[in-house]
Amino acid sequence: MSRRLLSAVPLLLVVSVLSFVLGSFAPGNVAESMLGEGATPQAVAKLNHQLGLDQPLLQRYWDWLSAAFRGDLGSSTFSGQSVTSLISDRLPVTLSLTVLALVISIVIGVAAGAVGAIFGGVVARITDSVSVLMLSIPNFWLGTVMIAVFAVQFRLFPASGYVPFGNSPSAWISSLVMPVFCIAAVAIATIAMNTRSAMLAALRSDFVRSLRANGIPARSVLFKHVLRNAGGLVMTIVSMLFVGLLGGTVLMEQVFGMAGLGSLATSATNQHDLPVVQGLVVLYTLIVIVVFALNDVALAYLNPKVVMS
């Protein structure tokens, strides 16, 4: 884990450089976007100067990096609002969607995979069939259908919008039910299929057969050895799924009209708002580093043979 954390700083630097360079050379011009199509070259040049966009690329990156080390990610080119404020306002929405989707995916996915591995036969075929079906359904289509059925037809949940937890816990949960299920569907299927495969491999191993031959109770073998051995693979899958779920919120925020980081990233990209894009890239990179560091801790707990430096 310490090695991963030590590599975080150079990784963040590399990612920030790539993001800044690619953003600077991306098609389009911020000044032209702000002034509109009828802007004169003189007006565009003047606004570029006011925004500091006529400075050399290296100078602009150094100014941004120096400010970032002081905790200042700059201000949005369009709104003038600080990037930190924009992100902090929208972060609860995306984290609520992602964390809840991950928790539900783990609980249902591990349970379904374990049941399929233990009972086999018809039960395994049912869990596999449902998993394949969930993998096959596009989440944006599922979201549209759920809005039509559960929001418009039966009026069980709101069709769009996000209610902060502090305003009303019940309304918060109600606003998240449909988007969380849409985001979690693929993750549930992925975890279920990988859990079943990992548990079957553990159940068929010589070590487990030896334990059974020595009279160790089946419950003890299952919970202390089979699930623990399968847990390593599942945790790795979960950590990768978290990153995927974080990116998957972009589409669901659009479908359900939620103002999260995904919608912020979309609007900032369309507007060529480089400070906001840069701040989001750094944040996502940091989240990925933290998630995989926590995965290292979980793997070491599940398998003490894993050496953590």
Task: State both tokens at 211.
Answer: 């334990």
> What is the predicted pLDDT for the residue at 259?
92
Q: What does the pLDDT read at residue 73?
A: 92
pLDDT value at position 307?
52
* b/e per residue 163-179 (b: at least 16 CB within 10 A): beeeeeeeebeebbebb
b (16+ CB within 10 A) / e for 197-216: bbbbebbeeeebeebeeeee
Cβ-in-10-Å burial (0-12, 13-18, 19+) of 190 comes to buried
For each of the domains in the chain, give its residue range(s) and CATH number, in order of start: 83-302 (1.10.3720.10)
Quote the pTM value.
0.86
Neighbours of 279 (CB within 10 A): 26
- Read off the DSSP letter of residue 160: S
pLDDT at 309: 45
Q: How confident is the model at residue 304, as a pLDDT?
A: 67
pLDDT at 2: 62
DSSP state of 256: T
Which residues, listed in sequence order, are joined to residue 75 by a DSSP beta bridge?
82
Place of tokens 């500091």: 52
In the chain, which residues have pLDDT < 50? 308-309
Burial of 228 (0-12, 13-18, 19+ CB in 10 A): middle
Instruction: Check: CB of residue 19 under 8 Å from CB of residue 277.
Output: yes
State the pLDDT at residue 159: 95
